[in-house]
Amino acid sequence: MSDAKTHSVYLDPPGMEIEVSEDETVLEAAFRHGVMLFHGCKEGQCAACKNFLIEGDVQHRNYSTFALADYEKEEGFVLLCRAHVFSDAEVEVLHWDEDMLESGVPIQDVTTEVAEIEELTHDLRKLTLTLVDPPEVAFNPGQYMDLGVPGTEWSRAYSMANTPATDDRLEFIIKVLPGGKFSGLLDDELSPGDTIEAKGPYGTFTLRKKSDSDIIFIGGGAGMAPLFSLLTSMVEEDIDRRVTFYYGARTAADLILLDEMAELEDKLPNFEFVPALSEPTDEDEQSWDGEVGLITDVVERREDDLSEHAAYLCGPPPMIDAAMPILEGMGVDEGKIYYDKFTVSASVDEDLD
Ligand X SMILES: Cc1cc2nc3c(=O)[nH]c(=O)nc-3n(C[C@H](O)[C@H](O)[C@H](O)COP(=O)(O)OP(=O)(O)OC[C@H]3O[C@@H](n4cnc5c(N)ncnc54)[C@H](O)[C@@H]3O)c2cc1C
**Binding interface with ligand FES (CB under 6 A):** 39-42, 44-49, 67, 79, 81
Binding of ligand X by 174 (CB under 6 A): yes
- Cβ neighbours around 131 below 10 Å, total: 18
The answer to whether 213 touches 192, Cβ cutoff 8 Å, is no
By a kind-dependent CB cut-off of 5 to 8 A, residue 139 interacts, out of ligand FES, ligand X, none, with none
Binding of ligand X by 346 (CB under 6 A): yes
Closer CB to ligand X, 322 or 344, in the complex:
344
Residue 44 CA from chain centroid, whole number: 14
Contact flags string 310-329 toward ligand X, x per CB under 6 A: --------------------
Checking DSSP bridges between strand 195-202 and strand 108-119, what pairing results, if any?
antiparallel
Nearest partner of 128 among 155, 182, 168, judged by Cα: 168
Checking DSSP bridges between strand 16-21 and strand 6-11, what pairing results, if any?
antiparallel
Q: Which amino acid is at 88?
A: D
Cis (ω within 30 of 0) for the bond into 106? no
By a kind-dependent CB cut-off of 5 to 8 A, residue 31 interacts, out of ligand FES, ligand X, none, with none
Minimum distance between the CB of residue 337 and ligand X, rounded to whole angstroms?
Answer: 16
The residue nearest ligand FES at its CB is: 81
By a kind-dependent CB cut-off of 5 to 8 A, residue 44 interacts, out of ligand X, ligand FES, none, with ligand FES
By a kind-dependent CB cut-off of 5 to 8 A, residue 39 interacts, out of ligand X, ligand FES, none, with ligand FES
Closer CB to ligand X, 189 or 334, in the complex:
189
Contact flags string 178-197 toward ligand X, x per CB under 6 A: -xxxxxx-------------
- 96-155 positions binding ligand X, by CB under 6 A: 144
By a kind-dependent CB cut-off of 5 to 8 A, residue 181 interacts, out of ligand X, ligand FES, none, with ligand X
Binding of ligand X by 36 (CB under 6 A): no
Contact flags string 43-82 toward ligand X, x per CB under 6 A: ----------------------------------------
Among 20, 41, 89, 295, binds ligand X (CB under 6 A): 41
The residue nearest ligand X at its CB is: 180
Q: Hey, which residues does 171 pair with through a beta bridge?
A: 128
Distance, in Å, from the CA atom of 25 to the CA atom of 283, rounded to the nearest integer, reads: 51
By a kind-dependent CB cut-off of 5 to 8 A, residue 77 interacts, out of ligand FES, ligand X, none, with none
By a kind-dependent CB cut-off of 5 to 8 A, residue 47 interacts, out of ligand X, ligand FES, none, with ligand FES
**Given phi > 0 = left and psi -120 to 50 = alpha, else beta, which region is 42?**
left
Q: Hey, which residues does 158 pair with through a beta bridge?
A: 145
Closer CB to ligand X, 144 or 271, in the complex:
144
Closer CB to ligand X, 9 or 186, in the complex:
186
Contact flags string 210-239 toward ligand X, x per CB under 6 A: ------------x--x--------------
Q: Quick one: which segment of 1-9, 17-25, 232-240, 341-349 binds ligand X (CB under 6 A)?
A: 341-349
Q: Footprint of ligand X on this chain (CB under 6 A)?
A: 40-41, 144, 156-159, 172-175, 177, 179-184, 203, 222, 225, 340, 342-347
